[in-house]
Structure 1
Amino acid sequence: MRTKTLVGPLLAALLLTSCSGAEPGTIAQAKGTVNIDIHAWVGYEAQAAVLAYLLKNELGYKVNTRPVKEDQSWRDFQSGKVDVIVESWGHNDLKKEFIEDKKVALSAGLTGNKGVIGWYVPEWMAKKYPDITDYRNLNKYASLFRTDKTGNAGQVLDGDPTFVTNDEALVKNLGLNYKVVYSGSEAALIKAAQNATRNRTPLLMYFYEPQWLFTKVRLVKVALPAYAVGCDADPAKVACDYPPYLLDKIVSRRFAETGGPAYELVRNFTWTNDDQNTVASSMINDKLTAEAAAKRWVAENKIVWKDWIPR
C-alpha cells in the first residue's frame, strides 16, 4: 500500500517536469534582487543587459535597473540603492572617496574591455588635411570647426558633461583656439559623426572605444601630447592625452559580502570590446531591445560565459 500511495505523486511530478516546457538554464525560484544602474552609453547598457539576463535566467535572481548619472550611482552605494556599476572609466576621485575613504564600495575586477578616449575627426578630413590629426596643427584649421556656439573659435564637440573628460583643460593648456560644446549625450555624438561622414561637414569630437560606431563610420584619432603617468594628476593643468583605461566593475561592499552567487557572477564576468560591440550593434542597428540583444549573444556565446556561472 505504501508503494501504491507514492506512485501517484511521483508520476505527477515526473509528468510536470517533462511537460513543463521550461527552457534549459531557466531558474523558477527567485533568489533575491540585484540592483544595476544604467549609465548613458550603449556599450554600458549592452553589458548590463547580458549580466541581467544571466542573473535572471541562469541564477534565478530578480534584477532592477534604473538610468542614472555616474556620480549619483557612486553616492548611492552608501544608501544601498545600487549594487552594481557594470563599467567604470577611471574616476579615481570617486574611487578614493567611496572605496578608500568611506569604504562603501569596491572593485569587482576588470571587465576585459580596453577603453580609449580621445579626439576624432571623420576619415575624409584626415585624407583631405593630412596634418590635421596632429594637435599642433589644429589652430590653423579652427575656422573649419566654427559654429554659432563658438564664435571665432573652433568647436570640440563633447557628449554628456558627466562623462570622463579633460577637454576644457586641454583646450586651455595646449593654447588651442577652440571651445568645448556639450552635445548632451552619446546619441548626439553618434548622430554628429554620422552626419559629418555622410555630408562631409567638418567635425572635431570627443569619443571613445569600445563603441559599435567604429564598425559603421570611419573616424581618425587626433594625436594629443603623449600620456605619461601623473600628467593628469591635476585636472586643471592637464595637457596630455587620455590614459589607456582598463575598465572595471564596481559593487557595493554590502553586495560583495552578501550577494552570494550573484556577486560571483559579476566578479567572474569578462569579455572583449568585440563582444560588447556585437550586443550594442544588435540594439542600435538591428533595433533589438537590450534584453533581446543579450539573449541573442548568450545563445551564440556559451563558450564565453559558461565559466562565469558559479559552480
Structure 2
Amino acid sequence: MLRHLLLSAAVALPMALAGGNAGAVESNDPIKLTLHDWTGQLITTRIMGSVLQKAGYNVEYVQADYLAQFAGLKTGDLHVAMEIWETTGREAMDEATATGQVENLGETGMQAIEEWWYPTYVKEQCPGLPDWEALADCAELFSTAETAPDGRYLGGPVTWGGFDEERVEALELPYVVVHAGTDAALFAELESAYQRKAPILLWIYAPHWAPIKYEGEWVAFPPYEKACYEDPAWGINPDLTHDCAKPRGPIWKVAWKGVAEKWPGAHEAIQAFHVENDEMGRMIAAVDLDGRPVEAVVEEWVSANESRWKPWIGQ
C-alpha cells in the first residue's frame, strides 16, 4: 500500500556520529520523517531530523504526498509529519487523529495563511479589490488564451488540496483553476508576471518570502467558519459548501501513535520543536532566492541555535 503513497523512494541517512548519543536512544530502528514539495517543509523536517540525529537517533527521510501520507502514518509505515497546515490539512489531520492511530504533537510555532493573492498594481485595473465580488467583474483581466472569457486562477500543486474548485463553484466565479505543477513553477510564474506588471491571480502562502518580496494583497472572501466547509446552508450559496475564505491558523506536527512508546525521547523532542514565521521566511528565501542548498541552510541554523534545540533532546 505504501508504495502507492510515496512519490519517490525513501532516502536513508546513517545515525549521526558527531555529537551523537546512540547509547541513550530507545531503538535504533529508523524514525521515518516525511518530505513534501515545498521548501519550508523540507527545512522544518531536516531541522528536526538533524536534531534527532544529534541525540543519536537513526533518521530516514521519505518523500510522500501531503494528504495521502496519513494512510502511512496510521499504519506506522511513516512516523512523523512536521507540517500539517490548518489551512489545507486540518480535515485530514482530524480524521486521522480520530482513529487513534495518529497523534497531534502540537503547534510548530508557525502561523499559516494560504489564500488567493494578487499584486497591488492590479488594483488600478480592478479597483474593487480586495473584495472577492470584484473578481467577477474583472475576470477578463485575468483571462488567458486557454481560459477566456473566464479568468485564470493559478493554484498550487494538486496535492496541496485547498478546495479552490469548490470555492469557484460555490461563489459562482467565472474562473478556471489551473494548478501549478510544482512550488517552484508557481513562484516562477509570479516573478515573470511581476516583472512585466502583468495581471496574475494565484495561491500565495505564509510563512514564505513571496509576500515579503512582492507587494500585494490577499483576496477578502467571506470569513471562514467551520460550518462553511460542512453545511451547504451556511453562507451565500445555500446549496454548496466552501463559499468562504480558507481557514488560517497554526501549522501542526503529527506522528504515528507508536512513536511515543518506541522512541519516547524523540517524541518529546518533536513536541518541543518551535520556529516562527519570520525566521522560516528568511531560511526559505536563502534557498529559493539565494540558491543555497536546503542542507546548508539547515546546518547553519542548527549550528547557530544550540541553546534552543539542545533542551528539546534533554541536553
Mark the CA change 1:96 to 1:228 in structure 2 (over 3 Å): closer, same or farther: closer
C-alpha distance in structure 1 between counterparts of 2:90 and 2:22, whole Å: 39
User: Cα offset for 1:303?
Assistant: 4.1
Alignment of 1:45-124 (within 5 A): 45-56=42-53, 58-90=54-86, 91-101=89-99, 103-124=100-121
Give the aligned length.
Answer: 287
User: Cα offset for 1:295?
Assistant: 1.0
Partner of 2:308: 304
Partner of 2:6: none
Partner of 2:216: 219
User: Which of 47-56 and 71-80 deviates more?
Assistant: 71-80
SS at match of 2:252: strand
What do you get for the CA RMSD once the two structures are aligned? Answer: 2.2
Mark the CA change 1:27 to 1:189 in structure 2 (over 3 Å): closer, same or farther: same
Which amino acid counterpart does residue 80 of structure 2 have in structure 1? V
Which amino acid counterpart does residue 256 of structure 1 have in structure 2? A
User: Cα offset for 1:128?
Assistant: 5.1
SS at match of 1:239: coil
TM-score, normalised relative to structure 2:
0.84
TM-score, normalised relative to structure 1:
0.85
C-alpha distance in structure 2 between counterparts of 1:72 and 1:169, whole Å: 20
User: Cα offset for 1:24?
Assistant: 11
C-alpha distance in structure 1 between counterparts of 2:263 and 2:215, whole Å: 42
C-alpha distance in structure 1 between counterparts of 2:134 and 2:254, whole Å: 39
User: Cα offset for 1:234?
Assistant: 4.5
C-alpha distance in structure 2 between counterparts of 1:36 and 1:158, whole Å: 26
Which amino acid counterpart does residue 302 of structure 1 have in structure 2? E
User: Cα offset for 1:305?
Assistant: 2.8
Does the CA-based 8 Å contact 2:22-2:55 persist in structure 1?
no
Unaligned runs of 5+ in 2: 1-15, 233-239
CA deviation map 1:225-246 (0-9, x unaligned): 1223422225851111111121
User: Cα offset for 1:218?
Assistant: 2.2
Which of 264, 272, 276 aligns to 1:272? It is 276
Say if 2:26 is the partner of 1:26. Answer: no
Does the CA-based 8 Å contact 1:34-1:63 persist in structure 2?
yes
C-alpha distance in structure 2 between counterparts of 1:221 and 1:96, whole Å: 27
User: Cα offset for 1:155?
Assistant: 0.6
Higher Cα radius of gyration: 1
SS at match of 2:270: helix
- Relative to its length, the structure with more helix (as a share) is 1
User: Which of 117-126 and 265-274 deviates more?
Assistant: 117-126
Identity rate, percent: 26
